[in-house]
């Protein structure tokens, strides 16, 4: 190839490279001119990428936490065991009972089952929320709430030592009368002054000893149709040692018969209805009320 031909070829090559380079620059300029938000979009893209990385790290942490919990966390394992035991209990005993997804729903249903004419007693008032519900449902007639307001008299579950739930002031509960003191101190005198049946009994003292005291004293006042609503009956570690145990011992000792009426499937509440009390002779009006509950 002669020198002129070589020069022309080199010029063409250089010209092509320059044209390509110029075209690339022009495209970039055109892109920026036509897309004034490119920088903002790039920033958003970078922020999204960083957020995805952060969320991925959080997910990995959660998976690791769950893995450790499922293998080593004894509190979690206790909750799982209690739920499984309660599931077996429910399948064997609560087939015909209504189930609810929150404690207030279960309580309101339990109240709707209770006959009229007798007392409504709650043991374990605390803030007064459930006692207010009871007072409204019963029209403020013969509604009484028992509590020492000094907290649990003894330790209950993990993290709930003696004194848990203590209050410095008494709750305001329109339509209900508060009876202040330990159950075993206040109940005998109260029952002497208040003869008559108990149509609705709310056991919310948590402990076996508290539930036993209530049932020993109030049990003789229950009649066919009376409703007993337990707030911590099952579905927590050690549930067979507390309200459940007190109730099982009570029916074995007294021969009282009952049916399960309701429960909270993701909490601890169970409602029962008294169907037979050995030796109980109902006045005519009580027989009618029980038949129409």
Condensed to tens digits (0 to 9), the pLDDT of residues 11-68 reads 556 556 656 665 665 566 556 655 666 667 677 777 777 778 777 778 777 776 766 6
Residue where a domain stops, chosen among 72, 95, 120: 72
Q: Are 270 and 263 in contact (CB under 8 A)?
A: yes
Residue whose C-alpha is closest to residue 271's, from 62, 111, 68, 66: 111
For residues 97 and 133, membership in a common domain is answered with yes
- pLDDT digits 0-9 by tens, 255-293: 999 999 999 999 999 999 999 999 887 765 544 444 444
Q: What is the pLDDT of residue 47?
A: 75
Domain span at 47: 38-72
Strand order in the sheet with 270-276: 98-100, 257-264, 270-276, 222-230, 198-203, 119-123, 143-147, 177-180
pLDDT-above-90 percentage for the chain: 57
Res. 180: pLDDT tops 50: yes
Rounded Cα gap, residues 186 and 61, in angstroms: 52
Report the pLDDT averaged over residues 138-143. Answer: 94
- pLDDT digits 0-9 by tens, 109-126: 999 999 999 999 999 998
| pTM for this model (two decimals) | 0.73
Q: Is residue 77 part of a domain?
A: no
Report the pLDDT averaged over residues 82-102. Answer: 97
Domain count, the chain: 3
Q: Is the dihedral of CA 260, 264, 270, 273 positive or negative?
A: negative
Q: Is residue 267 part of a domain?
A: yes
Q: Return the number of other C-beta atoms located less than 10 Å from residue 62's C-beta.
A: 10
Q: Are 223 and 229 in contact (CB under 8 A)?
A: no
Q: What is the pLDDT of residue 134?
A: 97
Q: Is residue 114 part of a domain?
A: yes
pLDDT-above-70 percentage for the chain: 74
Q: Are 231 and 203 in contact (CB under 8 A)?
A: yes
Q: Which two tokens stand for residue 264?
A: 């909270």
């Amino acid at each position: 190839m002669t020198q002129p031909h070589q020069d022309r070829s080199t010029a063409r090559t250089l010209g092509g490279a320059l044209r390509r380079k110029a075209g690339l620059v022009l495209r970039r300029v055109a892109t920026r001119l036509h897309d004034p938000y490119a920088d903002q979009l790039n920033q958003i893209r970078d922020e999204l990428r960083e957020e995805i990385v952060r969320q991925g790290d959080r997910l990995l942490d959660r998976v690791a936490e769950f893995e450790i919990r499922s293998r080593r966390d004894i509190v979690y394992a206790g909750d799982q065991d209690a739920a499984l035991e309660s599931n077996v209990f429910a399948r064997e005993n609560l087939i015909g009972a209504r189930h609810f997804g929150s404690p207030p729903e279960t309580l309101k249903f339990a109240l709707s089952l209770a006959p009229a004419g007798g007392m409504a007693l709650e043991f374990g008032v605390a803030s007064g929320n459930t006692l207010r519900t009871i007072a409204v449902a019963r029209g403020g007639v013969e509604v009484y709430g028992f509590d020492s307001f000094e907290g649990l008299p003894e330790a209950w579950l993990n993290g709930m030592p003696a004194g848990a739930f203590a209050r410095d002031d008494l709750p305001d509960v329109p339509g209900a009368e508060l009876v202040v003191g330990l159950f075993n101190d206040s109940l005998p005198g109260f029952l002497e002054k208040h003869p008559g049946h108990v149509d609705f009994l709310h056991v919310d003292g948590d402990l076996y000893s508290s539930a036993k005291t209530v049932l020993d004293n109030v049990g003789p006042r229950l009649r066919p149709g009376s409703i007993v609503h337990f707030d911590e009956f099952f579905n927590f570690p050690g549930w067979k040692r507390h309200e459940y145990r007190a109730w099982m011992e009570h029916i074995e000792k007294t021969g009282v018969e009952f049916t399960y009426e309701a429960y909270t499937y993701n909490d601890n509440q169970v409602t029962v209805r008294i169907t037979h009390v050995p030796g109980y002779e109902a006045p005519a009006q009580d027989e009618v009320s029980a038949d129409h509950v």
